[in-house]
């Protein structure tokens, strides 16, 4: 799903659906808990027992400042991971287009069957990489692009994208030798295949190196403790407005915490993760269009 670059004020203020990327569905229970706690604290303070917690805004300010620094650092690191993954997939789209263009320019005598085989191998690689990063089974989609023997060999490999890329390189080399093209042209093709291997290694590095759990655990606990203490620190200053103020602050801190959790692993299927399905479809459509244009020349 695409979002407008300049969303309306109404959508900014009232968009609650997780489909649109809103974090509200993930945190509303925690925010509601803090608001209800604030309401109980206010009732105890003003109505029932005249409870005086003895807390002021000083500990709240010090703890909030520290927590904001931690959240900012963690979310910056998470966003860097997300952006690096986006850059890698962008590089893969460019490399795929380059390979299709090079096949048309450097291998003009390629038989139609072999041209389709090269195109289908590249499309299959995009889908296989997506499934590899998500831990899902690519067999159904591979059946559209590869023969049964290739599918069985790839599914049996410990690293499926790497195995498919090796077979793709072998097909390019086989056709290049049959057409007796110059080695320098084959080297240019191999450089683009190397970029696909670089994308695979970069994505695996991101997926296999999560933010240390001890750091995430400390941050989660600190956020919950801070939001739990909010009403006790604010009730003397805000009175009946305490639940409203606590709700806004809890939404901010719980939201930042949950958003960092989402984008830390950019290859998932949550709304704020990378749209890998859309990227794979883009590669598929571009390569098929280039193949069709080559056949019509």
Task: Give the integer Cα–Cα distance in Å for 221 and 210.
Answer: 19
The CA distance from 14 to 29, in Å, is 17
Question: Would you give the distance in Å from CA 296 to the centre of its chain?
Answer: 38
Contacts of 144 (CB under 8 A, 6+ apart): none
> In terms of Cα–Cα distance, which of 242, 248, 260, 250 is closest to 223?
250
Q: Tell me the torsion sign for CA atoms 2, 144, 99, 276.
A: positive
State the DSSP string of 156-197. HSSSHHHHHHHHHHHHHHHHHHHHT--HHHHHHHHHHHHHHH
Amino acid 20: pLDDT = 54
Task: Give the Cα separation of 63 and 22 in Å (integer).
Answer: 27
> Are the beta carbons of 99 and 193 closer than 8 angstroms?
yes
Residue among 261, 209, 253, 212 nearest 78 (CA): 261
pLDDT at 21: 59
Fill in the DSSP letter of residue 44: I
Interior CA angle at 127 toward 126 and 128, to 5°?
95
Residue range 142-178, pLDDT digits in tens = 999 999 999 999 999 999 999 999 999 999 988 888 8
Residue 68's pLDDT band (cuts 50, 70, 90): confident
Provide CB contacts within 8 A for 280, sequence distance 6+. 126, 127, 130
What's the mean pLDDT in 198-206? 96
DSSP state of 265: S
Instruction: Specify the pLDDT at position 240.
Output: 85
Model pLDDT, residue 56: 64
Site of tokens 């085989």: 117
| pLDDT tens track for 5-61 | 555 545 545 455 544 557 788 888 999 999 999 998 888 877 655 555 545 667 777
- Per the CB < 8 A criterion, the answer to whether 110 and 118 are in contact is yes
Taking only the tens place, the pLDDT of each residue in 236-282 is 788 888 899 999 999 999 998 888 888 899 999 888 899 999 999 99
SS3 212: coil
> pLDDT tens digits, residue range 177-188?
888 888 888 899
Q: Identify the pLDDT of residue 1.
A: 42
The pLDDT of residue 48: 59
pLDDT in tens, 75-133: 899 999 999 999 999 999 999 999 999 988 888 877 888 889 999 999 999 999 999 99
Q: What's the CA gap between 276 and 203, in Å, rounded?
A: 12
Q: What is the mean pLDDT of residues 202-211?
A: 93
């Amino acid at each position: 799903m695409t979002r407008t670059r300049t969303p309306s004020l109404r959508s900014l203020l009232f968009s609650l659906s997780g489909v649109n990327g809103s974090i509200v569905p993930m945190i509303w229970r925690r925010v509601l808990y803090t608001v209800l706690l604030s309401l109980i604290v206010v009732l105890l303070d003003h109505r029932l027992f005249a409870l005086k917690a003895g807390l002021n805004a000083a500990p709240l300010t010090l703890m909030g400042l520290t927590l904001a620094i931690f959240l900012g650092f963690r979310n910056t690191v998470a966003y860097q991971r997300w952006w690096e993954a986006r850059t890698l997939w962008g590089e893969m789209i460019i490399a795929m287009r380059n390979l299709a263009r090079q096949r048309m320019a450097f291998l003009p005598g390629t038989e139609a069957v072999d041209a389709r085989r090269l195109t289908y191998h590249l499309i299959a690689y995009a889908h296989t990489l997506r499934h590899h990063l998500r831990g899902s089974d690519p067999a159904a989609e591979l059946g559209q692009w590869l023969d049964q023997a290739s599918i069985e060999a790839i599914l049996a490999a410990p690293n499926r994208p790497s195995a498919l890329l090796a077979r793709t390189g072998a097909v390019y080399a086989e056709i290049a030798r049959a057409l007796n093209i110059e080695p320098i042209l084959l080297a240019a093709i191999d450089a683009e295949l190397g970029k696909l291997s670089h994308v695979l290694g970069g994505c695996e590095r991101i997926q296999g190196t999560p933010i240390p759990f001890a750091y995430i655990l400390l941050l989660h606990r600190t956020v919950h403790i801070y939001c739990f203490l909010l009403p006790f620190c604010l009730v003397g200053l805000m009175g009946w407005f305490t639940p409203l103020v606590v709700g806004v602050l809890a939404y901010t801190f719980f939201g930042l915490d949950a958003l960092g959790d989402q984008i830390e692993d950019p290859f998932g299927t949550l709304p704020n993760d990378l749209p890998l399905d859309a990227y794979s479809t883009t590669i598929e459509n571009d390569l098929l269009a280039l193949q069709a244009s080559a056949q019509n020349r």
